[in-house]
Every structure is written in structure tokens, then in C-alpha cells.
Copies of this chain bind each other. A is one copy, B any other.
């Protein structure tokens, strides 16, 4: 299949490589071209713009950092929408806002272009290992094309519904739930630590019992050992998703006290000077620090 791929961050690069390895003819584009080099070596051709990446493609993937980037690569001057051929499909894997996804869907519908939103759960190593959990939404006829392709990229594809933006909402809900797990582990490790129980031992006990899902296993040891660098998913990106969740919830009229708490944690961390060099699990630092246990800020 002829595939365009736009956005070669650590997630996008891993996914694009899997597409190449699966034998597809892949044209990649990234704003900073250096990141495209390894993929050229792996067999991709390099496009000079999103429009060129989409030219002649059966499917175009996008995996970019935020709403602005998504709008630019899609509807900008040399954007995908300028060259996408009738019948071709745009699959957006980016974590973008519900509003932006709705806007995208409406514009494509009007232009008779095909759009599936398919954001993913998983860190770069999971992307490389085809272990992503993918949430997909779009019209049935578009999902028919997208799902078989997505199934080669992850360990499961959940069909959310016909409205592409609903997949984005589910993705935001999932990230919200992850952020609460991080905060929970911070508070739990703070209690353990002050009671003389090694937080790492606590995490082992809990993840060997009923808290045996990946998020507890991944974030538990990071938080217990206060290892927040290098970032798997950076603090500012986590903060962005928290904002998108709160904005979506506000538009729907849903109070989310847990998301508000995490929102304040992000602001606290940024005000202490933490940023893109930290993983978002550093949210747990606040609870640890408030309990007098943090090595990273609060008087250390």
C-alpha cells in the first residue's frame, strides 16, 4: 500500500518504521528533516511537505504534537488536504482536542475526504514493539480500510464509534485516568515512605496483587525511585492533555475534581522549574514533596 506518514517524533518514527518493515511504500515528512534520515535508510522516501507525503497515497498517517501542528499539516498551505486524492484515507494518531477533531471531520466531510481518528495508548517502546492500544473512530467504510492496517501496529484496536472525535475523547479520558494513577502512586508512596516501608517494595506488593495493569507497573517503579528523567512522555505534553480534558469536560458540563487536582500539580511543577526534560510522572513529586520526602524540590 502507498502510505504517507507525517510527524516523526519518537512515537511517529517507531510506527512509520513498522509500516516500512511490513512492506508498505512509505513517504515520510517531518518538520525537522534530520529525524527522517533513519527512515530513509530503512527504505522510506522523504517528502518535502505534508502535501507531498500525501500525494498519490492510499492512506496518510499523522502523528504530531498538538492541535496547531495538526491543523498546519492538514489544512496549511502545503497541507495534506491540498493533495489527498479522492478515496484516500487520513488516519490521525495524534492526541488532539475534541474540538479540533470535530472541525477536521466536518471539513473532510464537506470535501468528501475520508478521516479516521486513531489515537494510541503506549510509550515509544510499545510503539516499536507493536504493543500499542489503539482507539479508532470513523465511518464504517473508512474503518474497514483503517482497522486492518492499525491492527499491524498495536496489540488491540478498539472501535469507539462513527464520530472520529469520540476516539480523541476516549484517548483524553485514558490519559486523565493515567494522570490520576500517577497522583495516586505519589500519595501512596508518600504514606509508605514515612511509615518506613520502602516505596519500591510497596509497588512490588501492589502490582503483584490486584494493581497489575501496565500503568501501575510502568509508573510505580519510576515514582517509588523518583526517576523522572529522561521523559517517556514529557511533562508539558501531559499538561497539555490535562488542559484538553478539562476543556472538553467544561464544554460538556462535567466537573472533574480529579483532573482539577492534577491541573494544579502541573502548575506547581512548572513553577518549580520542571519542564520538557521531565516525564509527566513527576506529577507524583508534589505529593512526595508535600510529605517532606522529595529529593527534587522543596528545600532539597
Contacts and interface: CB of A to CB of B under 8 A. Distances in A.
Contacts of A184: 176-177, 180, 258
Contacts of A299: 272, 297-300
Interface in A194-225: 194-197, 201-202, 204-206, 208-216
The number of chain A residues touching the other chain, given as a range, is: 35 or more
A166 B192 CA distance: 9
Contacts of A237: none
A177 B211 contact: yes
Contacts of A170: 192, 197, 202, 205-206
The number of times this chain is found in the oligomer is: 4
B173 A188 contact: yes
A250 interface: yes
Given A264-B260, A300-B299, A291 B254 contact: yes
A287 interface: yes
Interface stretch (A4-12, A67-75, A110-118, A156-164): A156-164
B205 A215 contact: no
A230 interface: no
A129 interface: no
Interface of A: 98, 121-122, 133, 135, 156, 158, 160-161, 163, 166, 169-170, 173-174, 176-177, 180, 183-184, 187-188, 190-192, 194-197, 201-202, 204-206, 208-216, 245, 248-250, 252-261, 263-265, 267-268, 270-273, 287, 289-292, 297-300
